[in-house]
């Protein structure tokens, strides 16, 4: 099966601390100071400003996305026609399904059909079955600090490296992605958090890693590729740390997203895209009518579908459904 993918940027928004949104808000501008790239003369200390740190952006689910849609689409319009898609999801669910032929995390994804559209939300996720594949995830505050070094403030100036780190606001891009195979097409509508935007208007992903190139290819390349690909991000900027528990970045490099599948990886993007298309196709065929629901189980033994009561899908907001026909 050959699957082609077309990703279209629909808009952007800023998510505020109360999970409301400002449509058309853009990510912070990338700090393109040449002294921040290559082998650094002055290493970046990732521990500064972490006193009282709390990731307040965690567990947003659909709150901000629903708010954005209510603000940008006319009340009483048809939801399916307004968004032009079969599915509403988040990027994380798409990545979990697409990478499952190679890298399996135990994930449960709820799917429920409302107003002619199927909504996805992650119900449960536990540790990966692939040894140490998430071993860098402990350092989330350090990743956010790296983002501050590599972005400018709202006045176009470098951030003060001693300022208190917060995650009260973030920027997201709204995308419509079309998967086509033969005569069938499946359309997805979702948002993805964007770390930065460069002077040419390109989206940028910012990451830290302690892995050398070969270990990164084996353990992180697939996840990073799919995450950036489905957000329409053309390149990733990496802060290289000296070791697993290191709190300092000594080198900063750029990697183009479309170059990753050709870098000697042990996976094929075509297999991932086929997996995503086939799973979406099956769910679409199982949920033919509104109020039908199921749970997709991604396990080491394979992918399984279980009928679900729509009343258990608590992520749906009635005010959002009332906004659309």
141-189 pLDDT per residue, tens: 889 999 999 999 999 999 998 888 888 889 999 999 999 999 999 999 9
Q: CA-based diameter of the chain, in Å?
A: 61
For residues 124 and 197, the model is more confident at: 197
Q: Are 119 and 291 in contact, with CB atoms under 8 Å apart?
A: no
Cα 152 from Cα 32, distance rounded (Å) = 9
pLDDT at residue 58, as a whole number: 62
pLDDT at residue 49, as a whole number: 87
Return the C-alpha torsion angle 301, 262, 229, 185, nearest 10: -70
Domain hosting 239: range is 4-323
| pLDDT range class, residue 57, cuts 50, 70, 90 | low
pTM recorded for the entire structure: 0.92
Across 41-54, b (16+ Cβ under 10 Å) vs e yields eebbebebbeeebe
- Side-chain-side CA neighbours of 206 within 13 Å: the count stands at 27
Give the model confidence (pLDDT) of 16-53 as tens digits.
988 999 999 999 999 999 999 999 999 999 999 888 77
Cα 316 from Cα 136, distance rounded (Å) = 32
| pLDDT range class, residue 127, cuts 50, 70, 90 | very low
Give the model confidence (pLDDT) of 69-116 as tens digits.
999 999 999 999 999 999 999 999 999 999 999 987 788 999 999 999
pLDDT at residue 263, as a whole number: 94
Name the percent of the chain in helix, strand, coil, to the closest 5.
25, 35, 35
pLDDT at 5 over 80: yes
Give the model confidence (pLDDT) of 271-292 as tens digits.
999 999 999 999 999 999 999 9
Sorted by sequence, the CB contacts under 8 Å of residue 323 that are 6+ apart come out as 69, 70, 73, 75, 76
Q: Where is 219: in which H helix or E strand?
A: helix 213-219
Cα 41 from Cα 261, distance rounded (Å) = 32
Instruction: Please count the structural domains in the chain.
Output: 1
Give the model confidence (pLDDT) of 209-268 as tens digits.
999 999 999 999 999 999 999 999 999 999 999 887 789 999 999 999 999 999 999 999
């Amino acid at each position: 099966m050959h699957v082609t993918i077309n990703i279209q940027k629909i808009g952007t928004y800023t998510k505020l601390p109360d999970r409301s949104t400002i449509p058309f808000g853009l990510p912070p501008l990338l700090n393109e100071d040449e002294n921040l790239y290559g082998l650094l003369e002055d290493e970046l200390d990732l521990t500064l400003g972490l006193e009282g740190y709390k990731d307040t952006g965690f567990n947003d689910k659909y709150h901000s996305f629903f708010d954005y849609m209510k603000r940008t689409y006319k009340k009483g319009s048809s939801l399916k026609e307004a968004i032009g898609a079969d599915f509403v999801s988040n990027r994380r669910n798409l990545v979990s399904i697409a990478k499952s032929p190679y890298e399996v995390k135990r994930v449960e994804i709820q799917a429920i059909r409302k107003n002619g559209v199927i909504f996805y939300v992650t119900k449960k996720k536990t540790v990966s079955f692939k040894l140490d594949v998430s071993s860098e995830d402990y350092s989330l505050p350090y990743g956010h600090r790296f983002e501050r070094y590599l972005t400018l403030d709202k006045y176009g100036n470098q951030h003060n490296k001693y300022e208190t780190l917060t995650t009260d606001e973030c920027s997201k891009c709204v995308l419509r992605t079309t998967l086509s195979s033969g005569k069938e097409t499946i359309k997805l509508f979702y948002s993805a958090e964007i770390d930065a935007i460069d002077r040419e208007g390109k989206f940028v992903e910012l990451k830290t890693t302690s892995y050398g190139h070969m270990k990164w290819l084996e353990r992180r390349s697939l996840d990073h590729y799919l995450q950036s690909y489905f957000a329409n991000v053309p390149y990733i900027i990496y802060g290289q740390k000296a070791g697993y528990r290191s709190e300092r970045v000594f080198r900063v490099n750029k990697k183009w997203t479309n170059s990753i599948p050709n870098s000697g990886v042990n996976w094929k993007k075509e297999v991932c895209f086929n997996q995503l298309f086939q799973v979406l196709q099956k769910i679409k065929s199982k949920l033919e009518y509104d109020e039908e629901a199921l749970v997709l189980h991604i396990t080491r033994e394979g992918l399984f579908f279980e009928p679900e009561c729509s009343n258990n899908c608590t992520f749906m907001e009635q005010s959002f459904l009332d906004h659309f026909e």
